[in-house]
Amino acid sequence: MELSDEALCRRVAERDEAAFDLLVERYRERAWRLAWSVLRHAEDARDVTQEAFVRLYEAAGSFGGRARFSTWFYRVVLNLCLDHRRRNRWWRLWARDEDEAQGGGLLERQPAPSHDPVDQLGREQTMSALWAAVDRLAPRQRATVLLSVQEELSTAEIATVLKCSEATVRVHLHRALKTLRQTVERR
Amino acid sequence: MANHPDSDLVPYVRGELAPADRERVARHLEDCPECREDATAVRALLENLARSVPAPPPIHWGRWRAELRARLDGRRGRHAWWWRPVPLALSASLAGVLLVLAILGGPPRPTGSDPASVEEVLLGRRLELLRQLSLVERLDLLEDLDIIGQLDRLTATSEG
C-alpha cells in the first residue's frame, strides 16, 4: 500500500532517508513549477526548491498534521520565494529575468487550438500579455492566482498556505482578476 | 442594486461556496446583469489562465538531486562539533573537569590589557622585602658602620 504524504513526512521526522527520497520524488516537479512561476528565474528557482527540501528534512517534525502535507509544503516553498524576492528586489531592477532575456516565451503550453492561424496568433499574444500582467501583480495577489489557477488549490487551502483568512484570499483573487480583466480589455 | 457579491464571484464560479451562500449569489445574479456579466468574464478568465499556464524550463533532475544531497550533507556538517549529541559519560567527564578548573583556578594573572593589575602584581612581588624591613634597615646601618670603620683610613689619607 502506498504511504500518504503525511505518513512519509512523519517518517522523515524520524530521519527515514527513503521516505524523504519518496517525498522529493512526489513534490519536486510541483515545487519547481511554483518556484519558477513566482521567481521567473531558473537558477533562483533551483536554489529555492533545494532549500525547501532541506527545510522539509530539518523541520518535518514541526508538521502538525492539521493541514494536508501539500499545503504545508507549498507554504514552505512560497515563503522561501517571497523571501528571495524581498532580498533581491533591488538587484532585480538591474538584472532582469534571464529567461526573458534569453528570448524564452512565457507560453510553452498553448491554449486550446484554433483553426484560424490569425486568431491563434492573437490569442497567444493575449495570453502572453495576460501572464505578463500576472507577473506584475502584487506578490500576495500573484501568489493567490498561481495557487488557484496553476496548483488548483481551493480558497481554504490558499488561506492556509498564505496564513490568512478565506475572506482575504477572496479579496486578493477578486482584485487580481479585476486587474487582469482590464489588461485583456485594453488589448 | 446594493451589496454586489464581488469577492464571492470567484468561489461561486469555482463551486466552492457553501449551499446557502451559493444560493444567495445565484439569486443576486438573476437580478443583476452587471454581476452576471462579471461572473461570465471571471469564468472565462480563469479558464484561459488555467489553459495557458506557462511551463517552467526543463531541468536536469540528476544534477538537481546531487546538489540537494550535497546541500543536505553540508547542513549536517555545519552543526558538527557542538551540535552532535556527545556520549553521556564523555559529557559528564568534561563537565567535571571544567568544574574542578573553575574551583581550583590559580590567582588572577595580568591580562596585559589592564596596567593597574600589572602594577599590583609587581608590588606584590616586593612584599617579601617589606616583611624583612628590619634586616634591610640593619644592612643600611652596616653600610654606615663600614664607613665609620674606615674613618681612620680617611683621616690618614687626608693627612698624607
How far apart (Å, rounded) are the C-alpha atoms in residues A44 and A36?
Answer: 8
Chain A residues with CB under 8 Å of B71 CB are 50-51, 54
Position A131 confidence tier, pLDDT thresholds 50, 70, 90:
very high
In a domain, B142, yes or no: yes
CB contacts < 8 A, A to B, total 98
Note the pLDDT tens digit of each residue in A150-186.
999 999 999 999 999 999 999 999 999 999 998 888 7
The mean pLDDT value for A111-135 works out to 72
Cβ atoms A73, A56 nearer than 8 A: yes
Could you name the CATH architecture of A1-104? Orthogonal Bundle (1.10)
Q: Is residue B160 very low, low, confident or very high in pLDDT (cuts 50, 70, 90)? A: very low
How is residue A11 written as a grid cell? 517518517
Q: Which of the pair, B119 or B47, is modelled with greater confidence? A: B47
Q: Are A23 and B42 in contact (CB under 8 A)?
A: no
**Residues B42-71 pLDDT 10s:** 999 999 999 999 999 999 999 999 999 999
Mean per-residue pLDDT for A119-126?
A: 76
pLDDT at A99: 46
Whether residue B132 is contained in a domain is answered as yes
Q: pLDDT of A8-67, one tens digit each?
A: 999 999 999 999 999 999 999 999 999 999 999 999 999 999 999 999 999 999 988 888
The chain-wide mean pLDDT, for chain B, equals 75
What is the domain count for chain B?
2
Q: Where in chain A is the domain with CATH 1.10.10.10?
A: 106-187
pLDDT one-digit tens code per residue, B81-92? 544 555 556 667
| Under 8 Å between Cβ of A127 and A107 | yes
pLDDT(A72) > 60: yes
Q: Is residue B135 part of a domain?
A: yes
**CATH 1.10.1740.10 occupies which residues in chain A?**
1-104
Locus of grid cell 590589557:
B113
pLDDT digits (tens, 9 = 90+) for A82-120: 999 888 766 655 554 444 444 444 443 444 444 455 566
Q: Which domain holds residue B140?
A: 127-160
Residues A113 and A127: beta-carbon distance below 8 Å: no
| CB-CB under 8 Å, B57 with A42 | yes
Q: According to the model, what pLDDT value does residue B35 have?
A: 94
Q: From CA B35, how far away is CA B50, in angstroms rounded?
A: 22
Q: Are B11 and B17 in contact (CB under 8 A)?
A: yes
Q: Which candidate in A34, A36, A40, A149 is best for mutational testing of the B interface (most B CBs within 10 A)?
A: A149
For domain A106-187, the CATH architecture is: Orthogonal Bundle (1.10)
> ipTM, 2 decimals?
0.78
What local confidence, expressed as pLDDT, does residue A67 receive?
85
The reported pLDDT for the residue numbered A106 is: 43
For A50, which of B8, B55, B71 is closest by C-beta distance? Answer: B71
B114 belongs to a structural domain: no
Q: Is B127 an 8 Å CB contact of chain A? A: no
Q: From CA A178, how far away is CA B92, in angstroms rounded?
A: 66
